A and B are shown apart, each in its own frame.
Chain A
Amino acid sequence: MGITVKIRRCSGHTDDNFRFDTFEVPLTDNSNVLDVVNYIQNNLDPTLAFRYSCRAGMCGTCSMRVNGKNRWTCRSTVKSLRSKMLTIEPLPHYPIIKDLAVDMRPFFDRYRHVRSEFVSKHPTSKEFAKIQPNSKERRDIDPQIECITCGCCYGECNLVETNSGYLGPAAINRAFTLIADSRDSAGEERLDLLNSPQGAWGCHTQFNCTDVCPMGISPTRAIQKLKRKEVGHAFKKFFS
Chain B
Amino acid sequence: MNKTQNTIQKRGLFGWMMQRISGLFLAYALVVHLWTVNVVNQGNLNWQTISSRLQEGNFWFIYYMLFIPAVIYHAFNGLWSVILDFNPSAAKQRIIGWLFWIGGIGLTIYGYFGLQPLFGILL
Contact = CB atoms under 8 A, between A and B. Distances in A.
B81 A204 contact: yes
Contact of B13 (A162, A201, A202): A201
B12 A162 contact: no
Contacts of B9: 196-198
Interface SS of chain B: helix
Given A196-B9, A196-B10, A197-B11, A162 B87 contact: yes
A196 B84 contact: no
A158 B16 contact: no
| Interface size classification for chain A | 10 to 19
B84 to A, nearest CB: 7
Interface in A140-185: 158, 161-163
Contacts of B13: 195, 201, 230-231, 234
Contacts of B16: 201, 227, 231
28 contacts: A158-B85, A161-B87, A162-B85, A162-B86, A162-B87, A195-B10, A195-B13, A196-B9, A196-B10, A196-B11, A196-B12, A197-B8, A197-B9, A197-B12, A198-B9, A200-B12, A201-B12, A201-B13, A201-B15, A204-B81, A204-B84, A206-B85, A227-B16, A230-B13, A231-B13, A231-B16, A231-B17, A234-B13
Interface of B: 8-13, 15-17, 81, 84-87
Contacts of A202: 12
A231 B86 CA distance: 26
A200 B11 CA distance: 11
Nearest to A164: B87
B7 to A, nearest CB: 11
Contacts of B85: 158, 162, 204, 206
A202 B17 CA distance: 14
Contacts of A196: 9-12
Contacts of A227: 16
A158 B86 CA distance: 10
Looking at B8, B15, B17, the one whose CB has the most chain A CB atoms below 10 A away is B17
Nearest to A159: B85
Contacts of B86: 162
A217 to B, nearest CB: 22
A174 to B, nearest CB: 20
B102 to A, nearest CB: 23
Contacts of B84: 204
B11 A201 contact: yes
A200 B81 CA distance: 14
What are the 4 A-B residue pairs with the smallest beta carbon separation, nearest first?
A: A201-B12, A162-B87, A196-B9, A231-B17
